[in-house]
Structure 1
C-alpha cells in the first residue's frame, strides 16, 4: 500500500519527466541554418507564368543552337595559353546546354509552372542562358570585349539565381536535380570561361602575365567558393568550376605555356571550391543531427 510520501515522490518524477520532454521539444524547434522548404500549395497559375516559362525555354534553345554552331570556333578564337579550357570544351558546352534545356522543360510541368521557386529563379536562368549564348556568338566573331561583358552578365545572373534558390530551398530531390543543379553547374563552368574570354580580349597570352593569371584564378575561386558554401552545399557549381580549372591545369601542363606551379594552383583552386561545398554539407548535417537530438543548433 502506497503512502503519501511515495505518491509525492512518484508525482515529482512525473513532473520532472514532463519538464524534460517540454524542454527538448522547445529546443528542437530551433531553426536550421538554411531556409526550410516551403510545402504550401502552389499559387494559382497566371499568364505571366506561361510567359516566364516560355522565355526560359526559348533562351535554353538559343544556348543549345549557339553551342552547336559557334562554341567550338568561339573557344578556339578566344584561346589563351594561360587560361584555356580547351581539353574539355567540346564536351562541356553541349552538356551545359542540354541540362539547361532539360531544366527549362521541367519548369513547364504543372507542379512547377506557378511554383514560388520557379517564379523567383526562372528569369535569372533565362538571362544566364541567353547572354552566354550571345557571348559565344560574339567570341566566334572576334568581338571579345563585347563577349566578356555578356559573359560577366551571364555569371552575375547565375549567381543571383543561386541566391534566390538559397532563399527557396528545394522541396524534393527532383527539384534539386532539375532546377538547382543545372543553374549551379552552368554558373560554375561559366566563371572559368569568363576568365578565359577576358584574357583573350586583353591579349594576356605569354608568361609575362603569369601573375595576372594567378590573381584571376584566385579571384574567381573566391566567388565560386562563396556560392558553393551556401544553402546545403552547391556541389553542382563546385563540379562545373573544378572541371574548368582542371582543364586549365591540364592545358598548362601539356603545353608548358606557364610555370608548373600555375598548373598546380589551378587544380587546387577547383579543389578548394569542392571542399567549400562539402564543408557546408557537413555543417548542415551536423546541425540536423543536433536538432534531432533536441540540442541547440549551431550555425
Structure 2
C-alpha cells in the first residue's frame, strides 16, 4: 500500500504513481505482477497494443504509447465548452459553475495520467488551489486579475513543496510526486483563466470555448493524423468567427486569433491525454478537461493584450 503522495507505506512496497512491472514477496524475492486486462486503455472499440517479455521474463509493454480518447470524451468536452460559452455573457458566477467541474476533472485526470492513483491528497490540494484562484478573481478588480492568479499559484506551489518534505521515498519517487503535484496545481489554477477573461472581455470566453467545442470532436473522427489536425484547427477558427459574430465582436481578426489559439491548445491537450496507454478513467477526466484547461490561459492573455 502507498500513501496519496506516492510514499511507500511499507519498506519494499512499490511507490504510488508507478506502474509496477514487478512486485516483491515478504522475503524480497521478485515475482511478476498481474498483467493489466486487455482493453483497459482507450475507449470501447480500441485494444491496447500487445505486450512481450523482456530480460528475466518480465512483461513489457510494446507498440505505440498513444491511444486517443475518442468520441465519448470529445462529446463531454463539447458539452462543457458549450456551458462555458453560454455562461460567459451572464457574468463570473455563471462561469464558475462549469469552471469548477473543469478544475475537478483536471486535478483528478492529471494524477491518473501520471499513473498516480489513488492520490487523494494531491487531487484535493490541486482542486483547492483552483477554487482559491476562483475566489480571488471574484473579489479583486479587473486590473488585478493577473496578480490574483500568479499570487494564488505561488502560494499553493509553495504548499506542495512543503508537503513533499514529508516524502521519505527514493529520489525518483519524490521527483515524480513533486512534478505531478506542481503540474496539477498549475493546470487547475490556469483553468481559472476563463473566469479572469470573463472580467476583461467576456466575448473571448465564448469565442475560445466555441473553438474548443468545434476542434475536439473533429479531431476524434477516424481520419489520418495531419488532415484531422488541420481540419480541427480550421474548424476552431471558423467557430471563433461565428461566436464572435453572435456576441457582437466587430474585430474579425480578434475572433479568428482567439479561436486559432484555443483550437491549437485543445489539440495539445488531447495529445497529452493520449499518452502512455491511459485507462478509460484517464480519457473521461484528462481527455475531457485538458483541451479546455490549456486553452484557458491563452484566452485570458489574448483578451487582456488585444
Is TM-score (shorter-chain normalized) higher than 0.5?
no
More helix by share: 1
What's the TM-score once normalised by structure 1's chain length?
0.33
What's the TM-score once normalised by structure 2's chain length?
0.33
